[in-house]
Structures are given as C-alpha cells and as structure tokens.
Structure 1
C-alpha cells in the first residue's frame, strides 16, 4: 500500500472501525497543497479491504487533479465505507463516520458519492461540519450531468466537427443519478440513446421517457455508436475492452475510467478521442465546493460553463503534441499541484 501511495503521491491514508455500528471506513487524502481535501464518500461492497483502500487512493488522486484543473482552492480526498449486507442502523453508521471525518479537523470535507444520499450526508452532519451535499445544500448529480453534457458537445466538436447532437448515437453505460440526468439532456438535444444498467427498471424508464434502445451491459461497449459515455463505476476501459470499442469518442461521467495511461495511448492509436474524466465530470465537485463556500447558483453555473473550454484546450494540446488527452491533462494538473 505504501508503494501505491508513493507512486500516486498520496499524502495520507486513514482507517477507522466502529464495532457498535459496524463501520469500516477509509479516508485517503491525496493533497492539501491548494486547500483542504474534498471528495465524496462511497458506500459499496468490496471483495477485500485492500481493494477498498486502493479505490480510495486512486479516487483521491483524481479529485486532486479535478480540483486543480477546475481552478478550485481545494485538494483531493476520498472516503470509502465498506458495505456490510447486515447493517442494523444506517443513520448511526453514518453518524459514526461523521465522527471519523471530524477527527481530521477539517483536513477532509466529505460529500455524496456512489451508494450514498443526501439523507446520509444529513446523518454525517449531526457529528461534523465538514460535509456538503446535504438535503439543505442539494444533490450535485444534476450539475455533474450538466457539465458532462456540455463536455460531450465539446468532444463532438473536436472529433466530429459539430456540437449539434441531433441524430448522434450516444451509448450511456449506467443510469444512476448522473447517467439518467445526462440521458435526459441528450434526449432533449435530439441524440439517439443506447443504454444499459444493472437495474432493469432504470432501463425501462429510459425506454419510456427517452425512446432509448436497451443493450445488454456486456454488449454495450462493442455496439457501434458515435460517443460512448461511461457513467457507472470506474476501470471500464482496459486494454481488452478498448479493442472492442466502435465509437469516435469516449466522454462520460465515471471516475477512473482508464485502468492505466497505456490504455489512453491505445485509444489515441485507434483514433478514439478521450475526454479526461476528471475534467468532463467536474461539475459535481464545482457545485458542492462552491455551495460549501456560500456561493450562489449564478456563480456556480458560470464556473460550470468553463468545462467545455478546458476540454477544448486539452484537445488542442493533445493534437499539437500528438499525445493522448489523458496524458496532457495529467501533465497540466501536476504542474498546478507540484510546481
């Protein structure tokens, strides 16, 4: 684990157990160079404890890059609560997690993420002030989707020569809060939607509301489309899966889409434009960060509107340097973090 922390330049890793509630949690703080570390709290089952720690570390690194490239005065952090199938009192568990967050004395600010809700954040807020995306501050998912939608238009312009999405085939993998909101915006823009999700009810709803075409989860990645939009969990793009892609670009909301940077090079070699995840999906972080600082909605939406120009800048550098946008984005982020 120390080797992974060293290779990712992760600052610290914190572990907590609370036997009365069954809490087993990890908080990874990647960087406090630009300010306190902010990042969501995941509540998921993991095959083992090491997998949970690795997930937290890699996600925290992405949050540092995301905050830096979004111009936010924040570092990157991430929390993982290892989900137990038998939890007697969910509220008590999240209150215990809040005490864990509070023990870090403001070095880490938590937020909603996969498996958690605004109600969970309300429970955390009972025991710490270092939390956002409560019911009072609002769910950031619509703002994540808004940023991704704008990023898809910028990606379409860079790869296909137009930001008009009417008639474009977009494959949305994952119809959670962000994926579904994105599908709604794409449908309104006239895109043809191909969708998959492990929840058949979400797929059925997308079929009814957006005239979406259902595709089996394991088949979506190889289905011909213009843009593939991963909106589920990470590590979807592997050396093997990239060879199955039949699209012009990849642009979605999932974190850590690439298993490694060599996969980004494969995409580049295949002529598939990749929108770096921690740029295109930064809308949620922008919303919770600025909301936590007391900013009003017009200021937040103005900041969100900068996502397409950041992507366009990265695409231009990548084309000029004949490098993957993922490598260009990482270089820019690390320059902001470490120079």
Structure 2
C-alpha cells in the first residue's frame, strides 16, 4: 500500500497504524502539521471497502484540519483519525479504550474528538485511557449544533454576496445527508423561511426532517438535478465532481461535508460556471471552534464560542471578495489564507 507517494500525503509529519487483536481495533491516525499547535481533529468510524480507502480518507481529512484550524484562527495543527469497521457491529468500550491507549502513546501530538459515527459517549470511553481527547461531556460537549450554526451563517454569507441580501425566505435549498449537523442546519433554514429538499440513505432521518421542517424528500441521485438556489452537501465528500457538476443547477454550493470537491480543479470549474462555492473547511469550522473553548484555562464559555463561530460569516465574506478582486476560485483563496496564517502565525 503506497503512502509516501500519494498526492494526499503532502508532507504529513506522522501517520500511525493502530491495531488491537482483543478488541478488533484497526485504526489510522494522521498528523499533518503542528506548526500552530498540537494537531486536533475528530475520529471517524467507517466501514471502508479497502484499507487504501481509509488511508486516502484520513490523509485528506488531516490536511483539511490543518487549513480549517488555521483559517478559524485556532492554536491547533491539523490531524485526523479513522477507525475501520461497521459502526453497527464493532462499537464497544474495549475498542474505544484500545484506541485511547494509542492516543496516549502519541504524547499529545494529536487530540481526537467525535466525528462521523462517533458520539461524545464514545469519546468519553477513550478518555478513560487518555486526556488527549476533546469535546467531552460536561464541557464543550456535542459540537454538532455549532457546526450547523456556522454552516447556516455561511449560506447567508454566500447568499449576501450573490444577491446583496441575507433574506432566505422562499429560497430553495437541497440538503444531501441528514446527520446530526444537517438536522440542526435544516432547523435553522426552516426557521429562516427556506424551502427544503432533502435526501439520505437513512429513511428514518428523511422522515424526521420532512415531518419537523415541512421538507420535500427526494431520491438519493435526484438531489443533483433539482432546480434550487443552494446545494448543501452534508454527507461524505467528493460529491462535487465531473459527473455531478453539469447537473447542479444551484448558484451556491455551501454545506457542512468535508472534502466536497473531488479534485481541486473542480473549484475552478464551479467558478467558470458561475457557481459560488463556500470552501468546506471554512464553513464547517464551527464544531472545532467550539471544542477549542474547552481548552481555555478559565473553562468553557458557550457565549465566547458562539461569538467566534459567528465570525465564519465575515471570513467567508472576505474570501468571496478576494475571489472577485483577484479573479481566483474561492478554494484557492481559502488555501492561500490558510497558508498565510500558518506561515506568519495567528
């Protein structure tokens, strides 16, 4: 299995393969960059078809966290971890405690937290073996509502830039994926008067959003073909690709999924098409911002965390303006901003 010659490797400082025979743990921890501070990023539990898919995913996600934490102006580097397995069958206290022991061995170069298929309860089980976890119950807790708030404000920033106002009444939004973050996002959008079109592989999740927010359910593949104003990808990554871009009618792409562009060049294709793209690691930084306030010596302060999350609106407004002024795609401007901060400090 190739690692060092992958484009996604991008000079990672550390990639650790973890296993524990007794619990069945198979995991990968990737530390991309620690220039601004210890690497921080969530742990994802996913049933990857091949080990190589897990490596590819963790490397992309880890690099994304470096850029996300920098643009959010947090004293964190970038890292990520994945546990390989079916979340319905592999979860156990032994599994998470074994993973916690591997975190402990890294000595603080990487702090983990919840992500896809990992709950704050799972993180608390890791915490029995290590202090190198964040998003703990009784402290900052579940970061999903803060990720949702940042994403909602990011949609408003994009709409403001595109149309000159933030009123989402009657605006048609298609939401792909209805996990915890997307559910809260749908709540914000519904309360703002938006018209929702939603899809997810979990029928119960779809039914809940349809019932709670008067959304319209659509088939999984139909989501790309809808005549909507905003497409919000909130499932796994790479849904903006050569196949889907010609089908997308939305003038704005803004959602909470990581790695939405299958390849960086797709950001340029969107710009040429006149689609305003809110770079994923900027718009979805609310959760990690909230987690940061757990580390403050004076203790967690929800009001301060919320105020910081609200700054996502201004950061995106700056990126959109620089994109227009410099005639570059928004994802390029976001990367340049991140690299400026990493190089010069917070």
SS at 2:111's partner residue?
strand
* Contact 2:253–2:275, Cα closer than 8 Å, also in 1: yes
* Contact 2:8–2:56, Cα closer than 8 Å, also in 1: no
Name the stretch that deviates more: 143-152 or 132-141: 132-141
Deviations 1:153-179 (A, max 9, x none): 001001122111110001011110000
Deviations 1:276-295 (A, max 9, x none): 00110000010112223333
Q: Does 1:168 align with 2:171?
A: yes
* Contact 2:100–2:130, Cα closer than 8 Å, also in 1: yes
Q: Does 1:196 align with 2:194?
A: no
* Contact 2:173–2:196, Cα closer than 8 Å, also in 1: yes
Q: CA deviation at 1:5?
A: 6.4
Q: CA deviation at 1:134?
A: 2.5
Q: Which residue of 2 aligns with 1:284?
A: 287
SS at 2:157's partner residue?
helix
- TM-score, with normalisation over the residues of structure 2? 0.95
- Whole-angstrom CA distance in 1 between matches of 2:128 and 2:138: 13
Q: Does 1:238 align with 2:241?
A: yes
Which structure 2 residues correspond to residues 87-236 of structure 1 after superposition, within 5 A?
A: 87=89, 90-137=92-139, 138-236=141-239
* Contact 1:109–1:132, Cα closer than 8 Å, also in 2: yes
- Whole-angstrom CA distance in 2 between matches of 1:204 and 1:175: 10
- Whole-angstrom CA distance in 2 between matches of 1:292 and 1:27: 21
Q: CA deviation at 1:261?
A: 1.2
- Whole-angstrom CA distance in 2 between matches of 1:132 and 1:7: 25
Deviations 1:23-73 (A, max 9, x none): 001000010000000000001100111110111110010000000001100
Q: CA deviation at 1:6?
A: 7.3
Which structure 2 residues correspond to residues 55-94 of structure 1 after superposition, within 5 A?
A: 55-84=57-86, 87=89, 90-94=92-96
Cα RMSD after superposing both structures: 1.4
Q: Structure 1: where are the runs of 5+ without partners?
A: none
Q: CA 1:52–1:305 in 2, change beyond 3 Å: closer, same or farther?
A: same
* Contact 1:10–1:30, Cα closer than 8 Å, also in 2: yes
* Contact 1:227–1:248, Cα closer than 8 Å, also in 2: yes
Q: Which residue of 1 aligns with 2:44?
A: 42
4+ long deviations beyond 4 Å:
84-89
Q: CA 1:163–1:84 in 2, change beyond 3 Å: closer, same or farther?
A: closer
Which structure 2 residues correspond to residues 259-338 of structure 1 after superposition, within 5 A?
A: 259-293=262-296, 294-338=299-343
* Contact 1:63–1:77, Cα closer than 8 Å, also in 2: yes
- Whole-angstrom CA distance in 2 between matches of 1:38 and 1:29: 9
- Whole-angstrom CA distance in 1 between matches of 2:183 and 2:231: 15
* Contact 2:46–2:87, Cα closer than 8 Å, also in 1: no
* Contact 1:165–1:189, Cα closer than 8 Å, also in 2: yes
